[in-house]
Structure 1
Amino acid sequence: MWGFIRHAPAWPDGGERIGEATCAVIPWPHQIRAFQRLYDHWPPRLLIADEVGLGKTIQAGLLLRQAWLAGRAKRILVLAPKAVLRQWQIELREKFNLNWPIYDGQRLCWYPSRGLQGEAQRPVDAKAWHREPCVLVSSHLMRRRDRAAELLSGAEPWDLVVLDEAHHARRGGGGLGADQRPNQLLRLMQSLRERTQGLVLLTATPMQVSPVEVWDLMALLGLPADWHLRAFLDFFEYAPAPNPSHVQLRRMADLFQAAEATYGALAEEDAMRHLPGLSRLKVRKILRALRDTASIPLKQLETAERQAAVRLMKLHTPLRALISRHTRELLRRYREAGKLKALIATRKVEDRFVEMTPAERLVYEQVEDYIGSTYDNAAADERTAVGFVMPSIAAAWPAASMH
């Protein structure tokens, strides 16, 4: 019986659900779906970008427990900001019965339990901590040059690496341009991706500054060679155009073909669902034109067909293959369909205005002037940092009128 329990997680036809069945949580449908997407395509390479509060840690925990039980991952590294490392350890212990240590730079510290018999901490040097099969460590610590070497040259390769708050791995200066250099965390991950089979990135922060940030994270997970940075930027510049030129459409079609070659062909039925106003013959014509290496079929498409072709190409990009994104609206649909019993919170925003005295108004205006003049006078390469800090100064004043 014990042999069956030990080996069952690695068996097909149900073994992949044992981690879920033996954990202390009941996952929501989208969490199970994300887990299956990760586990069924081993080794996993995925960015989980769900909205805040939708359980990204639960999805990662399901994967970690199942992969550990099944023996697929025998060396696992979790990188997270120092502020949330303890939370990660508690979540893994209480929800998934995984008591993995935190490396704090000097010690390995486990979640206290009776089974450890008072030995929840163990001093360890920089050459030995990474010999622990499963460990949690601060991404702030490991991004330091003197510590990054421990992962890149001292440690054995990993079976699975999880990076929480992955948006911190970006280009210096806020990711404002392709000419900026990667920060220390992004450089670490660019080297570490070659030393792990699986890589899972977690972030709830949408990329609103530049598509360069998105490309950097996608490149960590692995992009087709044709989807280099310039091509990536061009694709998402051409895609919103109401009627791309023949040259632009040809370039987009080349990238569509590269995506199909890497991730599989776009199913005809899938295309039909996204083009409900077109007949099957029209959809087939568009797909043939997109897959043809010659330009003539593309040039023969009518305006409406060209616009439909762009919609299909936007549907089947590396983003679809490498990003898992769920929103609260999806959870509401699950609840309406009877697949979810939990109540989904609805955000209600109210504007409340605060009347300021003349003295408060004077101080408020002086702060605004200070912020504007400081930003304008800052050097170009300093404005990103200044622009981040200055609003926080304004927010600290109680006279900031709206909440």
Structure 2
Amino acid sequence: MSEFIPGQRWISDGEAELGLGTILNVDFRSVTVLFAASQETRTYSVRQAPLTRVVFGSGDRIDAADGWQLIVDDTKEIDGLIVYIGETDDGELRELSEAQIADSMQFNQARDRLLTGQVDRNDWFDLRFRTLHHFHRIEQNPALGLAGPKIDLIPHQLYIADEVSRRHAPRVLLADEVGLGKTIEAGLILHRLLLTGRAQRALILVPDSLTHQWLVELLRRFGLEVTLLDEQQSQAYGDANPFEAGQLVLASQQWLFANPHRQSQADDSHWDMLIVDEAHHLDWSPEGSGPGYACVERLAHATPGLLLLTATPEQMGVESHFARLRLLDPDRYHDLAAFKAEEAGYIEVATAIDALDSLPGESAAFTAVERVIDDSDSQALLETLVDAESGEAQRDAARRQLREQLLDRHGTGRVMFRNSRRHVAGFPERRLHTASLELPSAYRRLLRKLGRDEDALDELLIETGLDHPDVLLYLDTTYRALSDDPLNAEPWWQIDPRVTWLLELLTDAGRDKVLVIAHDRETATDLAEALRVLGGMHAPVFHEGMSLVERDRAAADFSDEEEGSQVMVCSEIGSEGRNFQFCRHLVMFDLPQHPDQLEQRIGRLDRIGQRHAIEIHVPVFADSPGERLLRWYQEGMDAFSAPHGVGSDLYDAFGDALADALLDPESLDAIIAETRALFETRLAERDAGRNRLLELNACRHERAETVASAIRELDTDKALPRYLDQAFDIFGIDSQDLGGDMNHLRAGPHMLDGLPGLAKGEEGFTATTSRSRALTRDDVQHLSWEHPLVREIVGRILDGAMGNTALALLNHPAIPAGRLMVELVFRTYCPAPSRLHVNRFLPPTAIRVLLDESGANLSDKVSFTGLAKNLKKVKKAVARDLIKSRHDQLRELLTQGEGEADRELPTIIETAQQRMRDELDGELTRLQALARHNPAVRDDEIQALRDERQALDTAIEGTRLRLDAVRVIVTVDNETRR
């Protein structure tokens, strides 16, 4: 390798798309290269730098940085830099140092490899051309980034992922109800942003109990490998910043929020996207914020993109909800009082949207709509809708456009997405089964004493150290706390009839899985022991005192269909985040006090895709506080039938009174009646106000179906299996057909190194191109154009030299032997920062030119496929001799081919620019109109779109062609072939 000297020009062998690089500095260990056209810098080891020196020869044309061109005649070297000598287009004799070459210049590898006799196999050349063709097609598919993940095509998830991932630096709150797939939505958004180059680094903060679940989900569903950081892992990096260890970093909120030093390191790292799960736990009030909120606030301020996830955005009241919005856009949400006043106006907007379906015809509906519109465009649509001369199609179009305008321009719909089960199909029935059991004597004595003596409760709270009303609702916990009492000598589970009831339930359930949730960690642990001692059953336990590995092991044991445990016992932590939808029996061994916790428990099983009715089993003691709490849930708010989203309001209003009524059944009826009245009022308000707007905006079904249709098009792409067969054969991947459209892939003896999931000597993996089959088995990967293995294969072909030269023989009766043809594949080259995702408008585009030795262009007369199937291979030594003998002729044909291809480039550029302008100008006009009505449209979002449009226009205008591959074809007769 030549000595590296600052100013020299080199290209990257593995990342040719970076363009022409300039050596910035070099020492005895490393060399740093600036790729100015793509705004990237790389540092390589001097000994193993994957770089090729750019050297032009006589007759080559070079672009100077200041705009002129030089045709090379001779060279000299000054201080390690090449100086090219030649003429300009005006005939002027000039010199050009390599340091002054335009950054957009490229080293044309195919040309130089061919002319030096380096040729590859014909099937490599064929694969390269087909790869370029498929890549061009896939990159423009509107479902790019959403088609690869292993998910069901659920409309609201696809709509949210598509809408959010199209935005510049999206900042949104994903607030779908429990079980509707917020994690999938976040994964889809992240996957698309990474795949399209609009994001490169992301920090994901989740509750400690969910770190491994996120780790597995991101890998299994989205093929994303993340770095899981904890204190032990961080210490392994010594003084280095552990947050720089990977592109995608997953960390526990509890760990990070409690560690100022690690927070500082996270702050010092650059992130494109921050994802925070269970965001309702972040503590904020107008008077101050907790350490978790403060940490996220600092990171959110410095990070362009932000996704907050919570199923209960208002669980802790409107202040808590406002706090989340404040993180997304502190300029927009800076005044809590103003926010409350603004929300009061959403009822009118929701009423107007519903009134659109009554037009034309009802004057009241017209008035309701007219009251909320304040611009000429909307007024014109309203007039079209009520005009007697409008046709039905015109009215439908006007109604649809007016509905979308009202949704866009009002409320928090741009920053918050919330779907409810009322508007999403696919959820199972819930069936409540209650069992009234007799109080054991120890529990009865306790409750009788509390009922007789007004001071007994205070004494009990002091004696046990428990809170009210826990001491009444969780009698086993109270019993344990009074273990010094000689009457409480036996373990609680030996005297509690709920244990016997549970054993009978497990017997009746047969092979069905049963999830048991109890409020207290010790209750869960003791209950598992009781099942072992009394029933001979192994029940894994899941609680907050266990390590993450222990929890994952317990969950895996429970989920194993063949040999796993029938039952798992969880503490309350089991109702947060974990997905147990393979199970349909839920036992609430006791009841949580808060309605949201009740819903979270049910939501572990009741998720979209659950195939069975949810059987909810609740044992209560007759005439006990637990039975009264059950009545409040059933009669006051229908809590077990479906999620309603108003439980927090009801608990805030009646939680204290309910706690007092647990020992005063006479007052309970009044509380239940008042709860029911407020419940129905809140539902009516929800349907009329902001929540109604959110639900209307959270899934626009036409858009969702467009995305789903594009995904299905890729799913059924018949070209993919054919392409994979050829690629696997060439890359040395063994593929064993298992039947049912499934194949087992493993590394063959000659496989190229570094392919994802296929390390040599390991078992490999099973995959299928069928989405439905992949979804039925966790151990089967979904093989698509976006799968990491396929992306790696495509990337290696397009970014490297594999197959960019070839020589073949053609036996054709109509063509005399010894004739020469050259098949040239040119490729558009548009250097631009990855964040622009220029490929959506101008992906690498192939221009094929087929010339005979006289220079006649045969491209339109002879197809690639028709020619390729008639070609025969030739030994490399013979190929080199043939090229050497036709060297001058080949140079002439290569130059002529460039001219033929250049004539097609302006049309390609013009088409791409028009496509870009049509899309971005329309979006810019829409955002500017929205900004006049909806302050949730950020000024920086509009300016970013303007800047993006300008940068794309400049980049596309600068598109050039490069010779990507060349095949020399020599005609022979049968005698010659022999």
Fold conserved (TM > 0.5)?
A: yes
**Counterpart check, 1:124 vs 2:237:** yes
1:249 is aligned to none
CA distance in 2, matches of 1:50, 1:371: 44
Taking the TM superposition and a 5 Å limit, the aligned residue runs for 1:298-313 are none
* Aligned match for 2:458, one of 373, 381, 399: 373
| Paired letter, 2:421 | R
* Aligned match for 1:192, one of 299, 315, 318: 299
2:252 is aligned to 138
How far 1:233 moved relative to its partner? 3.4
1:243 is aligned to none
Number of positions where the alignment pairs a residue of Structure 1 with one of Structure 2: 315
Tell me, what secondary structure is at the counterpart of 1:41?
coil
Whether the aligned pair in 2 keeps the contact of 1:7 and 1:70 (CA below 8 Å) is no
| Paired letter, 1:273 | L
Distance of aligned partners of 1:367 and 1:166 in 2 relative to their CA distance in 1, 3 Å threshold? farther
Whether the aligned pair in 2 keeps the contact of 1:38 and 1:63 (CA below 8 Å) is yes
How far 1:232 moved relative to its partner? 1.9
| Paired letter, 1:133 | Q
Distance of aligned partners of 1:198 and 1:225 in 2 relative to their CA distance in 1, 3 Å threshold? closer
Tell me, what secondary structure is at the counterpart of 2:198?
coil
Whether the aligned pair in 1 keeps the contact of 2:272 and 2:305 (CA below 8 Å) is yes
Whether the aligned pair in 1 keeps the contact of 2:277 and 2:308 (CA below 8 Å) is yes
How far 1:170 moved relative to its partner? 1.7
Whether the aligned pair in 1 keeps the contact of 2:407 and 2:413 (CA below 8 Å) is no
Whether the aligned pair in 2 keeps the contact of 1:105 and 1:126 (CA below 8 Å) is no
How far 1:135 moved relative to its partner? 1.1
CA distance in 1, matches of 2:220, 2:307: 21
User: Percent sequence identity over matched residues?
Assistant: 24
Structure 2: runs of 5 or more not aligned = 1-129, 376-404, 479-495, 497-620, 631-978
How far 1:86 moved relative to its partner? 0.6
2:870 is aligned to none
**Counterpart check, 1:24 vs 2:139:** no
CA distance in 2, matches of 1:388, 1:38: 43
* Aligned match for 1:59, one of 185, 189, 197: 185
CA distance in 2, matches of 1:209, 1:102: 30
1:330 is aligned to 423
CA distance in 2, matches of 1:49, 1:281: 33
Whether the aligned pair in 1 keeps the contact of 2:176 and 2:418 (CA below 8 Å) is yes
How far 1:83 moved relative to its partner? 1.1
Range 387-396 or range 320-329, more displaced: 387-396
Distance of aligned partners of 1:396 and 1:315 in 2 relative to their CA distance in 1, 3 Å threshold? farther
Structure 1: runs of 5 or more not aligned = 109-121, 172-176, 240-251, 257-265, 290-311, 333-342, 378-384
1:97 is aligned to 223
* Aligned match for 2:340, one of 233, 250, 258: 233
CA distance in 2, matches of 1:228, 1:375: 44
CA distance in 2, matches of 1:388, 1:170: 24
Distance of aligned partners of 1:146 and 1:129 in 2 relative to their CA distance in 1, 3 Å threshold? closer
Partner deviation per Cα, 1:163-219 (whole Å, 9 max, x = no partner):
011111123xxxxx643x211111111111111111001112342332100000001
1:284 is aligned to 370
CA distance in 1, matches of 2:223, 2:154: 19
CA distance in 1, matches of 2:239, 2:449: 51
* Aligned match for 2:263, one of 141, 148, 153: 148
Partner deviation per Cα, 1:368-400 (whole Å, 9 max, x = no partner):
9899638999xxxxxxx9569767755846656
Partner deviation per Cα, 1:47-76 (whole Å, 9 max, x = no partner):
111122221111111111111111111011
1:72 is aligned to 198
Whether the aligned pair in 2 keeps the contact of 1:367 and 1:394 (CA below 8 Å) is no
How far 1:366 moved relative to its partner? 5.8
CA distance in 2, matches of 1:8, 1:363: 74
Partner deviation per Cα, 1:317-336 (whole Å, 9 max, x = no partner):
5432221111222222xxxx
CA distance in 1, matches of 2:203, 2:626: 45
TM-score normalised over the length of structure 1: 0.66
* Aligned match for 2:314, one of 198, 204, 207: 207
Whether the aligned pair in 2 keeps the contact of 1:107 and 1:124 (CA below 8 Å) is yes
Distance of aligned partners of 1:54 and 1:130 in 2 relative to their CA distance in 1, 3 Å threshold? same
* Aligned match for 1:351, one of 434, 453, 471: 434
CA distance in 2, matches of 1:391, 1:5: 67
Partner deviation per Cα, 1:3-42 (whole Å, 9 max, x = no partner):
5677877x5x525x22222222233111101101211223
Whether the aligned pair in 2 keeps the contact of 1:354 and 1:401 (CA below 8 Å) is no
2:325 is aligned to 218
Whether the aligned pair in 2 keeps the contact of 1:161 and 1:200 (CA below 8 Å) is yes
CA distance in 2, matches of 1:322, 1:401: 40
CA distance in 1, matches of 2:154, 2:272: 27
Whether the aligned pair in 2 keeps the contact of 1:271 and 1:283 (CA below 8 Å) is no
Larger Rg computed on CA atoms? 2
Range 197-206 or range 90-99, more displaced: 197-206
| Paired letter, 2:424 | L
**Counterpart check, 1:168 vs 2:254:** no
Tell me, what secondary structure is at the counterpart of 1:321?
coil
| Paired letter, 2:299 | L
Distance of aligned partners of 1:151 and 1:8 in 2 relative to their CA distance in 1, 3 Å threshold? farther
CA distance in 2, matches of 1:371, 1:314: 56
Whether the aligned pair in 1 keeps the contact of 2:313 and 2:320 (CA below 8 Å) is no
Q: Aligned-residue CA RMSD in angstroms?
A: 4.0
CA distance in 2, matches of 1:367, 1:134: 55
**Counterpart check, 1:14 vs 2:141:** yes
How far 1:137 moved relative to its partner? 0.9
Distance of aligned partners of 1:317 and 1:219 in 2 relative to their CA distance in 1, 3 Å threshold? farther
1:361 is aligned to 444
1:297 is aligned to none
Distance of aligned partners of 1:353 and 1:401 in 2 relative to their CA distance in 1, 3 Å threshold? farther
> Which is richer in helix?
1
> Which is richer in strand?
2
Whether the aligned pair in 1 keeps the contact of 2:241 and 2:265 (CA below 8 Å) is no
